[in-house]
Amino acid sequence: MDKKTRALALLICVAGFMIFVFLAFRVAGGDKEGGVLPDGQSVKYAGVVESLPDGGGSETQPTRSAPDSNSEMVRVRDYAPEIRVDLKYAGRKNMTGRRLYDFSDAYLRYGTVKKLIRAQKQLEKLGMGLEIWDAYRTVEAQKKLWEVCPNTAYVADPSKGYSSHTRGNAVDVTLVDADGTEMVMPTGFDNLTRLADRDYSDIDDEFARENVRLLEKTMKSCGFTPYKEEWWHFTDKDNYSVMKDFVPPQ
Ligand SMILES: [Zn+2]
């Protein structure tokens, strides 16, 4: 290689290196300017934030600002998108075999949601999470449920009072793994046998026993009272009045 060729090769190398450095800076700068998270979350929630009640947001919770009061009825995924929702009464896989309401989003009191978020965070440390099976239930849905199952052990008699689900401070939940797959539990939803109660001594599956105990312990530590007949049902210790006229949007 003569001197001229060597100089040309060196020039090409230097130019190549400068182009590389230039492009690297552009990529880094683009991420900062765009404010787009790798999973696209900021885009996903942009529309939601516009419809929020007044209040400040925070960098740690970019999805939603807090409402004025714990009693405000809110959509759970606006505050806790990491909690899975599969409302059993929005479909037919429940004891009635009917669809009891037309909405598929879980709604709860904001104070109750805050407690659920605490439970979710505890479970995430163990590689698990929550999945909601039922949350706020309309009075109309409560009446339909009573028609099918007039048994006060499982359904509140609408002529005598209301379920905590119609107050928006009760939730039916199960555990999911890191992939969102439901974990083994003593029974499925709406199982009206002794296996569903909180006497876990009759549960043969060791994993189901451990999982249900973990769910109960976690929810209790976050301010919920477990219902003795149904391992999936928890009521917020803070009580609220019945929401007779609230109907979540479809
Ligand atoms: Zn329930």
pLDDT tens over the chain, length 250 residues: 555 656 555 555 455 555 444 444 333 333 222 222 223 222 222 222 222 333 333 334 546 789 999 999 999 999 999 999 999 999 998 888 889 989 999 999 999 999 999 999 999 999 999 999 999 999 989 888 898 888 888 888 888 878 899 999 999 999 999 999 999 999 999 998 999 999 999 999 999 999 999 999 999 999 999 999 999 999 999 999 988 888 898 8
Distance 173 CA to ligand 1 centre (A): 8
Rounded to two decimals, the pTM is 0.73
All structural domains of the chain with their residue ranges: 69-236
Ligand 1 center to residue 207 CA distance, Å?
23
Rounded-to-10 torsion of CA 155, 158, 163, 166: 130
Ligand 1 centroid – CA 154 distance (Å): 8
Q: Find the 135 Cα to ligand 1 centroid distance in Å.
A: 7
Gap between the Cα atoms of 221 and 216, Å rounded: 9
Distance 137 CA to ligand 1 centre (A): 9
Class of domain 69-236: alpha beta
CA of 6 to the centre of ligand 1 (A): 79
Per residue in 234-246, is it b (16+ CB within 10 Å) or e — as a string? Answer: bbbeeebebbeee
225: which 2 tokens? 């009272």
